[in-house]
C-alpha cells in the first residue's frame, strides 16, 4: 500500500471502489478533505472507518442513485455509539433503523407533527419571535450587535415554542437548563466519530473505547440534562391537561397545540398502530429540538453573513422586502409568498452552506451498485451535500454567492434536484422543509425590513474569518457582528 498526499493508503490492485483510507485521517474539516479526494479519485469513494466500510458520495448523479434509485435499500441509519446514548437507544425518527417502528414514528411526524396545517398553526410563534428579535437588535441602539446570538435565540425560540409551547429565555431558565452547552455538546458528540464506532458489533470493545476516551461520560451527562428537561416539560403539560379537565374547559383549539401536546394525545389515543412509551415521546421531542434549532440558526447566520459580504445582493433583497411590506412594522407570511429574490438568497445560502454538510449517514440494508461500483450491505453512506453544492459540473462559478442563479432557474431544495440537497431527499429526507423555510424566510425578511445592516466600523469584508466548526451540523467558528440602523422598528 503506498501513501498518497492525503495520507491515505491506496490499494495496489483493482478494488470495487477507488480509495481505501481512514476518516480520522481527514483532519478537522472532513467535508473539505473529502471533496479534494473526490476531485482526485471520482465521486464515489470508499473509506474504511475503523472496521466500518464507508462510502462517500460527491456528485449529483451518484446522490440521485443513493437517494432515489436505491432509496429503500439505503434508508437505514447506522446505530452509532453517540446516537444510541443520546437518542434513547435510537428510538427517535432521525436515528431509528429502518423498520416498522421508524415507519410508524415517521408517519406520525409527517401527518401530525410537521404537516402543512401544523406548520401554519405556528405562524403566531414565528411572528412573536421575529418581533422579539427586532427588539433585541433595536436595544443595541446603533452599537455593534452580536447578530449570531440574536439569531440563535430566534431559532431556539421558534423551535421551543412549537415543540414545548414556550421558550426558556425568561427567568434565567435558559441558563439554568444550560441550553447552549447542551446543544453544543450534542452537535459535537454526534458529529464526532468516537472510538466506539470503530468496533461495531463488539459491545465490549465499544464500551471500553467509550470509557477510555471519556466519550461515555460526556454522552451520559448530556443525555441526562436533556432527559430531565423533557420530564419537566411533560409533567407541566400533563398537569395543565388535568387542570383543564377538572375545570371542564373546552377542548384545546388545534391552533394552540404544541408538539408535546400532540405527542401526548397520540400516546393516549386508542387507534394508534403501535404504542408510544414515554421514552419514545422524549426521543421524538429531542429530534424536533435538536434537529431544528442549530440548522435554522446556521442557515440564518450564513444568510446574513453572505448578504453583508455581498452588498448588491443585500440591496436587492432589502428593496424587494420593503417594496412589498411598505410602511407596516411587521412582515407577514402573506408578504413572503411574493418575495422571490429573498427565496433565491436562501437557496443560494443553503447551496454554499448546507447546515448538515454530510447529511445524516445512511446504512445499506442490501448490496447495491452505485455508479457501477458494488456497495455491500451494512456499508455506511455519507452524501457530501457541501461538495455537491460547489460541484463545477453542476454550477457555473460555484464558489460565488449569486442568488440570481435561482431567479433564472427552477432548481429547488425539496429533494427533486440532486445538485441542491441541503435537506437530503427520499424516504429519509428532512420532514421539516416547510417548517424550516417558514422560520428562515420570516426572520430574514424582518431583519432586512427593520434595519439597514453594515459591518462594524473598520471591519472590511475580507477581515471576516469564515472558518467553520465541523460536527453533524457545521456553523461558523466566529460570531457575526454587525451594526443595525433602524428603518421601521
Ligand atoms: C435549515 C433547516 C434544516 C436542515 C438544513 C435540515 C437538514 C436535514 C437533513 C440533511 C436530514 C437528513 C436527510 C437525509 O438523510 O436524506 C434531516 C433529517 C431530519 N430532520 Fe431536518 N433539517 C432542518 C430543519 C429541521 C427541523 C426544523 C426539524 C424539526 C422540527 C427537523 C427534523 C428532522 C428529522 C426528524 C429528520 C430525520 C428524518 C428521518 O430520518 O426519517 N429538521 N434534516
Ligand 1 within 6 A of 388 CB? no
What DSSP element (H or E) covers 429?
none
**Top mean-pLDDT range of 184-188, 212-216, 358-362:** 358-362
| pLDDT value at residue 427 | 97
Q: Are 282 and 460 in contact (CB under 8 A)?
A: no
In a domain, 83, yes or no: no
- Residue numbers of the domain that contains 134: 2-78+95-486
DSSP string, 82-105: HHHHHTTTT-SSSSPPSSHHHHHH
Examine the pLDDT at 162 and tell me if it is beyond 70: yes
In a domain, 232, yes or no: yes
Torsion angle of the four alpha carbons 191, 193, 199, 201, in this order, in degrees rounded to the nearest 10: 10
Q: How many CB atoms lie within 10 A of CB 210?
A: 22
pLDDT at position 64 is 98
Count of domains for the chain:
1
**Cell 386508542 appears where?**
270
pLDDT 10s digits, 34-62: 898 898 888 999 887 767 888 999 999 99
- Residue 90 domain flag: no
Band the pLDDT of 3: cuts 50, 70, 90. Answer: very low
Q: What is the mean pLDDT of the chain?
A: 88
pLDDT at position 310: 97
Between residues 39 and 411, which one has the greater pLDDT?
A: 411
Residue 25 confidence (pLDDT) above 60:
no
Q: How far apart are CA 95 and CA 83, in angstroms?
A: 7
In a domain, 60, yes or no: yes
**Does the pLDDT at position 456 exceed 90?**
yes
CATH assignment at residue 367: 1.10.630.10
Predicted local distance difference test score (pLDDT) of residue 144: 97
Question: How many whole angstroms from 337 Cα to the centroid of ligand 1?
Answer: 23
Please determine, for residue 221, whether its predicted confidence score (pLDDT) is greater than 90.
Answer: no
Share of the chain above pLDDT 70, in %: 87
- Helix ranges, 192-214 (H): 203-213
Residue 302 lies in a domain: yes
Distance 486 CA to ligand 1 centre (A): 34
In short, whether 163's Cβ falls inside 6 Å of ligand 1 is no
Ligand 1 and 299: CB distance under 6 A: yes
Once rounded to an integer, what is the mean pLDDT over residues 334-339?
97
User: What does the alpha-carbon distance between residue 130 and residue 111 come to, in Å, rounded to a whole number?
Assistant: 27
Angle at 415 between CA 410 and CA 417, to 5 degrees: 45
Could you give the dihedral angle defined by the CA atoms of residues 329, 330, 334 and 340, in that order, rounded to the nearest 10 degrees?
90
C-alpha cell at 385: 451535500
Which protein residue has the closest C-alpha to ligand 1 atom 41? 428
Helix (H, G, I), strand (E, B) or coil at 419: coil
Alpha-carbon span 229 to 177, nearest angstrom? 7
Ligand 1 neighbour 57 (Cβ under 6 A): no
Give this prediction's pTM.
Answer: 0.92
Residue 339 contacts residue 320 (beta carbons within 8 Å): yes
ipTM computed for the complex? 0.99
Residue 108 resides in a domain: yes
Is the shortest distance between the CB of 75 and ligand 1 below 6 Å? Answer: no
Q: Which residues are annotated as a binding site?
A: 430
Q: Is residue 88 part of a domain?
A: no
What mean pLDDT do residues 259-265 have? 95
pLDDT tier at 243, thresholds 50, 70, 90: confident
Span 190-211, mean pLDDT?
67
Residue 87 lies in a domain: no
Amino acid at each position: 500500500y503506498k501513501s498518497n498526499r492525503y495520507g491515505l493508503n491506496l490499494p495496489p490492485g483493482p478494488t470495487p471502489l477507488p480509495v481505501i483510507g481512514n476518516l480520522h485521517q481527514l483532519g478537522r474539516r472532513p467535508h473539505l478533505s473529502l471533496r479534494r479526494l473526490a476531485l482526485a479519485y471520482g465521486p464515489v469513494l470508499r473509506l474504511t472507518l475503523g472496521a466500518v466500510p464507508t462510502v462517500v458520495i460527491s456528485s449529483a448523479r451518484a446522490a440521485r442513485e443513493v437517494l432515489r434509485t436505491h432509496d429503500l435499500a439505503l434508508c437505514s441509519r447506522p446505530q452509532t455509539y453517540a446516537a444510541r446514548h443520546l437518542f434513547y437507544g435510537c428510538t427517535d425518527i432521525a436515528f431509528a433503523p429502518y423498520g416498522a417502528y421508524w415507519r410508524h414514528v415517521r408517519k406520525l411526524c409527517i401527518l401530525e407533527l410537521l404537516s402543512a396545517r401544523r406548520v401554519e398553526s405556528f405562524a403566531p410563534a414565528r411572528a412573536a419571535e421575529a418581533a422579539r428579535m427586532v427588539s433585541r437588535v433595536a436595544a443595541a441602539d446603533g452599537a455593534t450587535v452580536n447578530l449570531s446570538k440574536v439569531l440563535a435565540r430566534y431559532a431556539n425560540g421558534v423551535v421551543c415554542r412549537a415543540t414545548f409551547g414556550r421558550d426558556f429565555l425568561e427567568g434565567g431558565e435558559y441558563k439554568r437548563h444550560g441550553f447552549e452547552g447542551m446543544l453544543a455538546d450534542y452537535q459535537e458528540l454526534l458529529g464526532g466519530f468516537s472510538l466506539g464506532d470503530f468496533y461495531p458489533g463488539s459491545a465490549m470493545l465499544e464500551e471500553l473505547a467509550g470509557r477510555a476516551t471519556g466519550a461515555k461520560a460526556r454522552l451520559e451527562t448530556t443525555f441526562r440534562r436533556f432527559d430531565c428537561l423533557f420530564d419537566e416539560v411533560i409533567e407541566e403539560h400533563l398537569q395543565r391537561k388535568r387542570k383543564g379537565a377538572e375545570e371542564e374547559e373546552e377542548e384545546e383549539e388545534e391552533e394552540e397545540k404544541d408538539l408535546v401536546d400532540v405527542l401526548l394525545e397520540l400516546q393516549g389515543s386508542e387507534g394508534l398502530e403501535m404504542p408510544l412509551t414515554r421514552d419514545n415521546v422524549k426521543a421524538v421531542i429531542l429530534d424536533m429540538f435538536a434537529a431544528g434549532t442549530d440548522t435554522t440558526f446556521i442557515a440564518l447566520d450564513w444568510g446574513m453573513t453572505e448578504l453583508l459580504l455581498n452588498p448588491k445582493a443585500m440591496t436587492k433583497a432589502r428593496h424587494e422586502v420593503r417594496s412589498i411590506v411598505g410602511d407596516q412594522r411587521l412582515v407577514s407570511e402573506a408578504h413572503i409568498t411574493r418575495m422571490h429574490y429573498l427565496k433565491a438568497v436562501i437557496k443560494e445560502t443553503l447551496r454554499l452552506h448546507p447546515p448538515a454538510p454530510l447529511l445524516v449517514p445512511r446504512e445499506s440494508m442490501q448490496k447495491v451498485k452505485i455508479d457501477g461500483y458494488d456497495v455491500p450491505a451494512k456499508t455506511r453512506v455519507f452524501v457530501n451535500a457541501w461538495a455537491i453544492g460547489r460541484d463545477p459540473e453542476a454550477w457555473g462559478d460555484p464558489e460565488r454567492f449569486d442568488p440570481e442563479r435561482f431567479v433564472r432557474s427552477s432548481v429547488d431544495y425539496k429533494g427533486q434536484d440532486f445538485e441542491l440537497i441541503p435537506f437530503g431527499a427520499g424516504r429519509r429526507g428532512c420532514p421539516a422543509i416547510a417548517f424550516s423555510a417558514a422560520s428562515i424566510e420570516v426572520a430574514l425578511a424582518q431583519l432586512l425590513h427593520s434595519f439597514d445592516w453594515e459591518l462594524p466600523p473598520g471591519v472590511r469584508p475580507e477581515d471576516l474569518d469564515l472558518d467553520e466548526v465541523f460536527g453533524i451540523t457545521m456553523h461558523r467558528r466566529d460570531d457575526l457582528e454587525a451594526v443595525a440602523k433602524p428603518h421601521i422598528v
